[in-house]
């Protein structure tokens, strides 16, 4: 018998929920969604805050060469002291953020959480820790994102491409999840996604919608029937729709019109729906969608 836990991270009993948090406006909702997921999965929860050195904008001209030796030495010493002070402040802020996160998990979701403070690159840290991770949770934008231009955080895009576990991208505001939408095209990747949803306790008791973008042919109808039967066999309430049009527009409209609380998508591939998570369309989808997006591997 095949050990499905090896292919479906949601079934790994020892796996934990790992949420990366910073000082952005998405941090509170990230804390909530991570605790929500950990509670439903009955999984350990850990909040991670990564301290990395961000280059500050500065003048390209170095005037230190114009200073006398003593003045130059004094300046270097002052810079070292200032850098140590900034580092201590960043660590203290990080500890406070982690304590706040643990308070949200315990006080509002009844979940005990651990906190971890690390130095380095977020992407490298997550890939290093993902061996025993069941689900990653990140905010849509980090604290250094340019909100005025509506860009996604560059770190998120790098994380999406680097990690191999399911990734829950938190929306700006936390809301209770009742209705879930699966973007489905009948491909092996999205069929595996349906099986993961059916097998996971994360979706127990929730209403599942399945949407395919395309013409309502016999082949597509059979794929939809398979998806709905698979979900219903797992005890889930599931409804399906086959809609004509551009997948990006269809999904965005369905999320809005049907009051969907969570969008589930496959993370990579070549079909029309799976291409939503590659390149510029990926950025558009994650940037414009106002509900959390769960990316399945």
3-state secondary structure of 178: coil
Sort strands 167-170 and 293-296 into parallel, antiparallel or unpaired. antiparallel
**Domain of 275, in residue numbers:** 179-296
CATH number of 48's domain? 3.40.50.620
What's the pLDDT score for residue 147? 42
**The whole model's pTM is what?**
0.82
Residues 145 and 43 in one domain: yes
Place of tokens 């889930």: 236
3-state secondary structure of 209: strand
Q: Where does residue 5 rank: exposed (0-12), middle (13-18), buried (19+ CB within 10 A)? A: middle
Planar angle of CA 134, 264, 204, nearest 5 degrees = 65
8 A C-beta contact, residue 196 and residue 296: yes
What's the pLDDT score for residue 3? 45
Number of domains in the chain: 2
Residues 160 and 218 in one domain: no
DSSP structure class, residue 57 = P
Residues 150 and 15 in one domain: yes
Residues 20 and 144 in one domain: yes
Phi (first) and psi of residue 168, to 5 degrees:
-100, 115
Tell which of 117, 146, 170 closes a domain.
170
What residue spans of 130-278 are helical by DSSP H?
A: 154-162, 188-199, 218-233, 247-257
Residues 166 and 183 in one domain: no
What's the pLDDT score for residue 70? 65
Tell which of 170, 188, 212 closes a domain.
170
3-state secondary structure of 45: strand
Edge-to-edge strands of the sheet including 293-296?
A: 113-119, 45-51, 16-20, 133-139, 167-170, 293-296, 262-266, 179-183, 207-213, 237-243
Residues 145 and 188 in one domain: no
In a domain, 165, yes or no: yes
Residues 94 and 211 in one domain: no
Radius of gyration of the chain (CA): 22
Strands of 11-94, DSSP E: 16-20, 45-51
pLDDT along the chain (297 residues), means of 10: 46 79 92 97 96 52 54 65 72 92 96 94 93 93 48 70 90 95 88 93 96 88 96 96 88 93 74 49 68 88
Residues 165 and 21 in one domain: yes
What's the pLDDT score for residue 68? 60
- Tokens linked to 127: 């890939």
What's the pLDDT score for residue 85? 65
What's the pLDDT score for residue 8? 54
What's the pLDDT score for residue 187? 83
């Amino acid at each position: 018998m095949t050990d499905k836990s090896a292919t479906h991270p949601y079934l790994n009993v020892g796996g934990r929920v790992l949420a990366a948090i910073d000082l952005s406006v998405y941090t509170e909702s990230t804390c909530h969604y991570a605790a929500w997921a950990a509670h439903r999965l009955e999984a350990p929860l850990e909040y991670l805050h990564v301290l990395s050195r961000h280059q500050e904008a500065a003048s390209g001209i170095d005037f230190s060469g114009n200073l006398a030796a003593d003045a130059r030495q004094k300046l270097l010493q002052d810079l070292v002291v200032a850098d140590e002070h900034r580092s201590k402040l960043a660590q203290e802020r990080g500890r406070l953020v982690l304590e706040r996160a643990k308070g949200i998990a315990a006080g509002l979701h009844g979940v005990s959480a651990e906190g971890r403070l690390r130095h380095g690159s977020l992407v490298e840290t997550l890939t290093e820790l993902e061996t025993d991770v069941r689900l990653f949770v990140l905010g849509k934008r980090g604290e250094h994102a340019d909100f005025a231009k509506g860009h996604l955080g560059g770190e998120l895009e790098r994380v999406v491409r680097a990690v191999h576990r399911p990734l829950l991208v938190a929306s700006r505001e936390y809301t209770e999840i009742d209705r879930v939408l699966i973007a489905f095209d009948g491909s092996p990747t999205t069929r595996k996604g349906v099986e993961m949803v059916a097998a996971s306790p994360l979706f127990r008791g929730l209403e599942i919608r399945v949407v395919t973008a395309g013409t309502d042919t016999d082949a597509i109808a059979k794929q939809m029937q398979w998806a709905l039967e698979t979900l219903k066999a797992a005890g889930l309430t599931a409804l399906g729709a086959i809609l004509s049009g551009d997948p990006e527009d269809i999904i965005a409209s369905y999320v809005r019109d049907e009051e969907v609380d969570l969008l589930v998508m496959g993370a990579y591939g070549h079909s029309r729906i799976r291409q939503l998570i590659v390149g510029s369309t990926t950025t558009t989808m994650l940037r414009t969608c106002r509900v959390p997006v769960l990316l399945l591997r």
